[in-house]
Amino acid sequence: MKKLLSIAFAAAMIVPSSAAMALQEAGKFEIYVNDDFAGVMHPYLYKDAGKACLYVSEWYNQGYLISEECDLLERKTKGYLSCLGNSYINFPTTIASDVYCRGFNDWGLSLQVEYMHVGEHYDGFAGIVKFKGYPYVSNIEAWAY
């Protein structure tokens, strides 16, 4: 099981980041976990966090009845060191969940995110997420609308 998780994590770090694009502030992203709709996320730039830009996002459940906060760290790359400038433009990067992140799984349950690592693509992002208390890793993807 641990070997499978390691392979999935390595694949998520390598494959999506090759065609990744930057997270845009105040965008609306439809989230899918294991190919099932898991709500809508709205990220907002919060601050410069050294090697990354910290975004605070509001993740609404499937019926827009409740929301959870999920802090995301967008990795800076050479030539794109300004978090404010990066919130308006596209550039190759990856996103990881910060210490505090809660979201919704494919069944609509509000859960703590143990870790999430995604690469950004032209219209959103894709990668893996592990919810606390679940023994398996799920795939996660988001599409801007």
Reported as a single tens digit per residue, the pLDDT across 88-97 is 777 778 999 9
Cβ distance 16 to 121 under 8 Å? yes
The per-residue b/e assignment along 74-92, b for 16 or more CB within 10 angstroms, e otherwise, is bbbeeebeebeebbeeebe
Distance CA 27, CA 1 (A): 36
Per the prediction, the chain carries an average pLDDT of 84
Residue 110 lies in a domain: yes
Residue 33 lies in a domain: yes
Residue 12 lies in a domain: no
The whole domain housing 119 covers 29-130
Cβ distance 8 to 140 under 8 Å? no
Residue 117 lies in a domain: yes
> Residue 15 pLDDT more than 70?
no
> Residue 63 pLDDT more than 60?
yes
What was the pLDDT predicted at 93?
A: 85
- DSSP H or E stretch at residue 112: strand 110-121
Report the pLDDT averaged over residues 28-39: 96
Q: How many residues are given for the chain?
A: 145
> Coil, strand or helix: which one is 81?
coil
Residue 72 lies in a domain: yes
Residue 140 lies in a domain: no
Structurally, the chain folds into a number of domains equal to 1
Nearest to 33 by CA among 65, 64, 59: 59
Residue 139 lies in a domain: no
Cβ distance 57 to 68 under 8 Å? no
What was the pLDDT predicted at 139?
A: 97
56-65, 94-103, 116-125, range with the lowest pLDDT: 116-125
> Residue 142 pLDDT more than 60?
yes
Nearest to 101 by CA among 56, 49, 51, 47: 56
Residue 15 lies in a domain: no
Q: Is 50 exposed, middle or buried (0-12, 13-18, 19+ CB in 10 A)?
A: exposed
Report the pLDDT averaged over residues 12-24: 50
> Residue 12 pLDDT more than 80?
no
Report the pLDDT averaged over residues 70-90: 86
